[in-house]
Structure 1
Amino acid sequence: MKQVRSLFYPSLLLFGLLALWQMSATVANQPFLFPSPLAVAKRMIELHEALVSAHLPATLGIILTGLLISLILGVSMAVIMYKIPIAEKAFYPVLIASQTIPIIALAPLFVLWFGYGMTSKVVVTVLITFFPITVSTFDGFRTTKKEYIDLMKTMGTSRWHLFAKVEVPSALPSFFSGLKVAVTLSVIGAAIGEWLGAQAGLGYFSRRMMTQFDGAGVFAPIVWLSLIGIVLFLLVRIIESHFLKWRQKK
């Protein structure tokens, strides 16, 4: 019952926005430029087979591969910077600087370097998702209370036991916060990569529909991209609630 109540207001807001969109599209009466939600839904049904069978798997492969690489690199980098102060001084400014460069400006270069295959899109996705995972996990490690560390040391615990039982649990909330940001950004990264150059994928399909002046066709893969982001975010929430049961409100 509580979960139903929590969905009431977001559903009401979404319904209101869709109703406003439908009325605005009806008044504008330009379906090729500003399609209505009903027109987009109809087009999604018409393009369902092409989107789901060919383009959706291609985009999912890019997103999941990019996230996996970002998880491995991001967590490893966070641990290295936390354990080795010199590494923090060397890598942290570079991480910050890497986010000041517009990824969309580098994406065409990746297409030139790695071609129109999957690699260039994965690189774009990794560059976008790597930063929040690294920084959030690193900040989580630094929030470990010194009192807990001193207590474990006085008990004669090993470094590995201290890391696994104190420092990792302290970093988990921040890690999941960064991961929730990363999964939503991964969709954007995959779409940008496909938009600039690809042979398949939802971003590629949206661009192809734009060249045909099919407004509803442009929105159809965008809706699928949004759904992917929502599903991934909810999956992370479920995993987070499993590992951080102690944070759940009674």
Structure 2
Amino acid sequence: MRRLDLLLALGVGLAIWQALVWITGAPHYILPSPWRVAQAAWSSREIIAENAWVTALEVALGLVLGTVLGLVTAVQLMMSKTAERVMLPILVFTQAVPVFALAPILTLWFGYGIASKIVMAILIIYFPVTAAVFDGLRATPAGVVDLGRVMGAGKWRELWVLRLPHALPSMGTGLRLAAVYAPIGAVIGEWVGASKGLGYLMLLANGRAKIDLMFAALITLAVLTVLLHWAVGIFARRLEAFARGG
């Protein structure tokens, strides 16, 4: 059923797109038709695949590293009241600075390679993952915590045996958000400065008035994001099943 729904949504989207082309009469260098974009994607499939691989690598590494860093930070906040009092306000304050505004600085510091894009992806998912896991750790039922303490569980045993399993659904929510945000961070970094990647390819195609190729790169990015969200969703559901004892 889900595959049928996906195909139906894809068909409706393409129909609306083609209808807009017909109704507006926009020239192909403003709004190319789905067929022109498909032709551009096929004729440029090698360059699209090459740049898609770079973006996928940036996103994957940023997602893994950002998730690990967020998980470690959430555990530290949970285990230390001092860390919570000091670090939590700092984390909240950092959200007042648009992450996108840091892209030029990160490019200056880490160069035009994939490092600056990975750091950008890490920064954009770090707070959502940290906040989701920390909220999940704090949401452990008080009765469960009290029972563990009566049975002699120390702070670390309480964390691993009681709190962390209850935080797994929240962690899954954070991962789903991260799967959507990570590609945004990587592409923003590519727009600021890169020599490879789908963001770079979109800028290159736009500069050369190859709007059909730009749309093809954009759709490829959307497909990568959907696949990533789907894969992370499977992992998150397994975490939630494990938390339920399934």
Q: Distance in 2 between matches of 1:247 and 1:159?
A: 20
CA RMSD of aligned residues (A): 1.8
Residue 229 of structure 2 corresponds to residue 233 of structure 1: yes
Match of 1:99 in 2: 95
Structure 2: tracts of 5 or more residues without a match: none
Match of 2:32 in 1: 35
Superposed CA offset, 1:86-120 (max 9, x none): 21121112212222222222211221222211121
Superposed CA offset, 1:106-163 (max 9, x none): 2112212222111211121111011110000000001001100111222223433322
Residue 186 of structure 2 corresponds to residue 180 of structure 1: no
Report the AA paired with residue 28 of structure 2: P
Q: 1:25 to 1:247 in 2, by over 3 A?
A: farther
Superposed CA offset, 1:176-221 (max 9, x none): 1011101111111111111111011111011100001111111111
> Is the contact between residue 79 and residue 155 of structure 2 (CA under 8 Å) also seen in structure 1?
no
Match of 2:205 in 1: 209
User: Which of 117, 141, 145 does residue 141 from structure 2 map onto?
Assistant: 145
Deviation for aligned residue 1:8? 4.2
Match of 2:240 in 1: 244
Structure 1: tracts of 5 or more residues without a match: none
Report the AA paired with residue 43 of structure 2: E
Match of 1:130 in 2: 126
User: Which of 70, 75, 85 does residue 71 from structure 2 map onto?
Assistant: 75
Match of 1:112 in 2: 108
Report the AA paired with residue 45 of structure 1: W
Superposed CA offset, 1:48-73 (max 9, x none): 11111x21221122111111221121
> Is the contact between residue 33 and residue 213 of structure 1 (CA under 8 Å) also seen in structure 2?
no
Deviation for aligned residue 1:243? 2.6
Q: Distance in 1 between matches of 2:241 and 2:71?
A: 22
Match of 1:87 in 2: 83
Report the AA paired with residue 207 of structure 2: T
Q: 1:181 to 1:32 in 2, by over 3 A?
A: same
> Is the contact between residue 172 and residue 239 of structure 2 (CA under 8 Å) also seen in structure 1?
no
- TM-score normalised according to structure 1 size: 0.91
- Secondary structure of the residue that 2:194 maps to in structure 1? coil
> Is the contact between residue 179 and residue 225 of structure 2 (CA under 8 Å) also seen in structure 1?
yes
Match of 2:156 in 1: 160
Q: 1:108 to 1:216 in 2, by over 3 A?
A: same
Q: Distance in 2 between matches of 1:90 and 1:221?
A: 43
Q: Distance in 1 between matches of 2:16 and 2:179?
A: 29
Q: Distance in 2 between matches of 1:247 and 1:32?
A: 52
Q: 1:247 to 1:123 in 2, by over 3 A?
A: closer
Match of 1:121 in 2: 117
- Secondary structure of the residue that 1:244 maps to in structure 2? helix
Deviation for aligned residue 1:10? 5.0
User: Which of 39, 46, 49 does residue 49 from structure 1 map onto?
Assistant: 46
- Secondary structure of the residue that 1:33 maps to in structure 2? coil
